[in-house]
Amino acid sequence: MRKYLIWSIVLVLFFLLLGIFLVWSEREGTRFPFSFGLDLVGGTELVYRADTTNVEDVNGAMNTLKEVIERRVNIFGVSEPLIQTESAGLVSGNRDERLIVGLPGVTEIDKAIELIGQTPVLEFRLARSNTEEILKNNPDATLDELFIATGLSGRYLSRARVEFNPTTGAAIVGLEFNTEGGELFAKITREHKNEILAILLDGKVISAPVIVDEISDGKAQITGSFTPEEARDLVRNLNYGALPIPIALATSQTVGATLGEAALNSGVEAGVIGFIVLSLFLIFWYRLPGLISVIALVSYIIISLVIFKLVPVTLSAAGLAGFILSIGMAVDANVLIFERLKEELRKGKSISDSLHEGFSRAWLSIRDSNISSIITAIILFWLGTSAVKGFALTLGIGVLVSMLTAISISRTFLFAITPTIDTKGKRFLFNNGFHK
């Protein structure tokens, strides 16, 4: 019992420190504020559909697209932009790839679209040997009919800069590829000498040089007919981030700050009311163990909120609902344990023995129910939309934390107060319902 008492004191001090951290981290300018979704703080959400038809590494292209848009949005100083990719469907060839851009505080859709801007799509393609014949017979031929994709695109661009032809003084755009892009560019120029390598910007050919020799230094030039201003604008946009793949705006929506604040306040109010009602029921029905479970529930809430801050988890309305739901689920394990405790007490066993048996016998049921909930959360997170993923993430974290609080923390506190000598009054305090 002394061991459990010491551990109980340590846990109380630990949760006190976590509580202080939660309060301290809400001060302005701290590193760990709560991250709220647009539906709770207001703003604009833009959903873009990505064209991955000619892309082999879809995941890599989408990750690069996300990084490019993040850089571009950050340049304009949008506070805490929420940018994520989403795939609909199980088969990679038939998936609908989307980019979701959340801009908190930006409530004008036109302004939001302007922030994303029309970043150029830069591609390097090899001209087909019969290009002239195709154009002669089919003036409306598509890019795929005229050119062969090489896989070299703006995703491999390290930086762009304005240069000038030393002979003519014409403005040109110099490009430098990253290591991977430089190796790919060297391979293309080595294997396709005397062929035309067209440089396309937003689907238009702006330069079509002939490959004379291998270029191994990872550098290239765009020698279109640019004015110095046009070259500077192009370099600026390329450095902001040339899109690795084309995107098209699919949907957009705006959530007002007032509506978001109302949703947040309603969610918090529902959570507080639910916690109070649940606590009163636990104390009334389960008496002293019920009080311990309330303390464990407080520790569960503190741990969960700290995790939400540190991960960080973006709390949307759906995510907040998942967290509130998990508060109720967090006491399921305690209920199973307390009911087992009651059964053992009715058999005439001591309080200490009944507690040991209660935890031992309830563990298998607790384990199985929580594993099934975790599997459900994983499936929802894997296949769901962004809103469903928020719900699944908070629910999954809640289930994992509840196993810790119900099995370890509740057990420690209960054994710390377990009497060494049974009396009728003590057995009443550890029993539940209408049983004495």
Please check whether residue 33 lies inside any domain of the structure: yes
For 348, the 3-state DSSP assignment is coil
What is the arithmetic mean of pLDDT over 387-414? 84
For 160, the 3-state DSSP assignment is strand
**Runs of H (alpha helix) within 89-246:** 109-116, 131-137, 143-146, 179-191, 228-241
Maximum alpha-carbon separation in the chain? 104
Give the CATH number for residue 267.
1.20.1640.10
Of 216, 234, 253, the residue at which a domain comes to its end is: 253
Of 200, 225, 253, the residue at which a domain comes to its end is: 253
What is the arithmetic mean of pLDDT over 56-75? 76
DSSP code at position 430: H
* Token digits of residue 284: 């009334």
Give the CATH number for residue 232.
3.30.1360.200
Please check whether residue 368 lies inside any domain of the structure: yes
State the residue for tokens 């479970």: 293
Q: Looking at residue 76, what is its pLDDT?
A: 55
Separation of alpha carbons 191 and 151, rounded Å:
14
Q: Characterize 272-305 residue by residue with b for buried, 16 or more Cβ atoms within 10 angstroms of its Cβ, and e for exposed.
A: eeebeebbeebbeebbbbbbbbbbbbebbbbbbb
For 297, 375, 403, the CA distances from 327, given in Å and listed in that order, are 8, 18, 12
Residues 19 and 70 in one domain: no
What is the arithmetic mean of pLDDT over 349-374? 85
Q: Looking at residue 26, what is its pLDDT?
A: 77
Of 208, 234, 253, the residue at which a domain comes to its end is: 253
CA-based end-to-end distance of the chain: 24
pTM of the model: 0.61
Residues 182 and 281 in one domain: no
Tell me the percentage of the chain whose pLDDT exceeds 90. 5
Per residue in 217-256, pLDDT tens? 888 887 777 788 888 877 776 666 567 778 888 888 877 6
Among residues 204, 207, 217, 122, which one has the least CA distance to residue 178? 217
Residues 246 and 270 in one domain: no
DSSP code at position 156: G
Residues 77 and 211 in one domain: yes
Please check whether residue 436 lies inside any domain of the structure: no
For 122, the 3-state DSSP assignment is strand
Question: Band of the pLDDT at 390, cuts 50, 70, 90?
Answer: confident
Strands 314-315 and 204-207: unpaired
Question: Band of the pLDDT at 184, cuts 50, 70, 90?
Answer: very high
Residues 424 and 312 in one domain: yes
Residues 27 and 53 in one domain: no
Range of the domain at 181: 43-253
Separation of alpha carbons 242 and 276, rounded Å:
53
Residues 308 and 289 in one domain: yes
* Token digits of residue 15: 């949760």
* Token digits of residue 26: 């809400």
Separation of alpha carbons 429 and 169, rounded Å:
92
What is the arithmetic mean of pLDDT over 207-223? 84
Residues 180 and 275 in one domain: no
380 with 391: CB under 8 angstroms? yes
Q: How many domains does the chain have?
A: 2
Residues 14 and 59 in one domain: no
Per residue in 267-281, pLDDT tens? 788 878 888 888 898
Residues 322 and 425 in one domain: yes
Positive/negative CA dihedral, 258, 310, 69, 148: negative
296 with 405: CB under 8 angstroms? yes
Question: Band of the pLDDT at 120, cuts 50, 70, 90?
Answer: low
Please check whether residue 435 lies inside any domain of the structure: no
Strands 82-88 and 96-104: antiparallel
* Token digits of residue 218: 């990872």
Residues 188 and 67 in one domain: yes
Residues 249 and 381 in one domain: no
Please check whether residue 93 lies inside any domain of the structure: yes
Separation of alpha carbons 421 and 316, rounded Å:
50
